[in-house]
A and B are shown apart, each in its own frame.
Chain A
Amino acid sequence: MMVDFTHMSTIDTSALREAVMRIHPLNDEEMSDFLAVWTPVPAKRKEILTQAGSTETNLYFIQKGVQRLYYLDNEGREATLMFSYAPSFGGVIDSYFTQQPSRYYYETLTASAMLRMSAQDIDRLLSKYPAIEKMIRIGMSGIVSGLMERMVEIQAYSSEEKFRALLRRSPHILQIVPHKYLANYLGMDATNFSKLLNRVRI
């Protein structure tokens, strides 16, 4: 029987390579081992990729589409914590690295194209290559830094400032994501959000 390698050549890892190089440069061997473990995941709109209570098995690299990480409890309280979009990483990162059950859901908000890497693969690469471990450490610091910045916005900013900060970071998000998710991310109700939208637009 012939071995079919065709699926390997169709994976476009160029954006992933660039994203990694921006975080911390890897040499050829490290990079080719790192890129070799990713597999493509196409997903439709509103597919739940990780359920709360289950353990995150994948780190995602987003090639197309928008996803969100959110909290939802029995009382119907919902908190959108983060959006992910190309070209960046996504998934329930804490659950992925600790291999403890996730408290959060991770879902697509639009049709998406992603690559994914299993927790076993990253474990093996981290123990084998110090440079990959360093790259991940720097990448994680970037995530922590983004979260801290967001905590400042949540605690200190007015609604309008939060709204403007979101548009500064992601200018096209208003046309891509249903506004209810953006309103939830900013911690305001839909009516308030549309009032701000009308005010800021003019």
Chain B
Amino acid sequence: MKNQALIQWIEPLEEVVEAHLLKATSVYQNLSEEALSAKPDHDGWSAAQCIYHLNTYSDFYLPRAQKALSRVTPRHDNREFRSGFLGKLLKNTIKPENKLKLKALKAHRPAADVIGATTVAQFIEHQEQWLRLISEVESVNQLDARVESSISFLIRFKLGDVFAFMKAHDARHLQQADRVLATLPEKV
């Protein structure tokens, strides 16, 4: 028996990952190095740098989400997922609809000389790993596992919130990458 309440939380996130993978395979991985590394202005990020920034977060959260998931005991009820306070706040702050400009934390700022093709390949690899984790959620039937945060060792997020804010964050910076790419002249 499938837990519909849990599926309602995870399915839209799975669709976001799928959409990002479709975009990365049909567009980003086929762009030239020149297009991927073109900057919109002096201190703005190139498309490659936007994606690199996302990779630094997947690098952090994927292994920790995996670890959290491997430790939980499968549940057999139909309880829905309830967002934690901080997780929800973070998601609402970084979702693309929030136009407020945020400054990236130092550890997650991309270097100046990011290699586009490698960065896109890594992004695709990460998204496939997120899909694998999402499929594992179904077998443990819960999203309450606590995941270590990148903010402070005192703060832990629920796995369901990690999925949600990571996908909102991905969407935010892929939209940024698309805006940069849209300003490029044809045939770059």
Contacts and interface: CB of A to CB of B under 8 A. Distances in A.
Interface of A: 44-46, 111, 174-180, 190-191, 194, 197-198, 201
B26 A178 contact: no
Contacts of A176: 25-26
A46 B128 contact: yes
A190 B131 CA distance: 22
A180 to B, nearest CB: 6
Contacts of A46: 128, 131-132
Contacts, number: 41
Interface residues of B, number: 18
Given A46-B131, A111-B18, A198-B33, A175 B121 contact: no
Contact of B25 (A178, A197, A201): A178
The 3 tightest CB contacts between A and B, nearest first, are A194-B117, A175-B26, A178-B124
B118 A191 contact: yes
Residue from A191, A194, A198 having most chain B Cβ neighbours under 10 A: A194
Contacts of B24: 178
A175 B21 CA distance: 11
A178 B121 contact: yes
B150 interface: no
A111 B18 CA distance: 9
Interface string B25-53: 11001101100000000000000000000
Contacts of A191: 117-118
Contacts of A179: 29, 121
B125 interface: yes
Contact of B30 (A175, A180, A190): A175
A111 B25 CA distance: 13
Contact of A175 (B25, B118, B132): B25
Contacts of A174: 29-30
A185 to B, nearest CB: 15
Contact of B125 (A45, A175, A180, A198): A180
Nearest to B123: A178
A179 B24 CA distance: 10
Contacts of A190: 117-118, 121
Contacts of A178: 21, 24-25, 29, 121, 124, 128
A197 B18 CA distance: 24
A180 B124 CA distance: 9
B32 A198 contact: yes
Contacts of B131: 44-46
A111 to B, nearest CB: 7
A180 B25 CA distance: 10
Interface string B109-138: 000000001100100110010011001000
A45 B18 contact: yes
Among the interface residues B18, B21, B29, B125, which one has the most CB atoms of the partner chain A within 10 A? B29
Given A174-B30, A180-B125, 12 more contacts: A44-B135, A46-B128, A174-B29, A175-B26, A175-B30, A178-B21, A178-B25, A179-B29, A179-B121, A191-B117, A198-B32, A201-B32
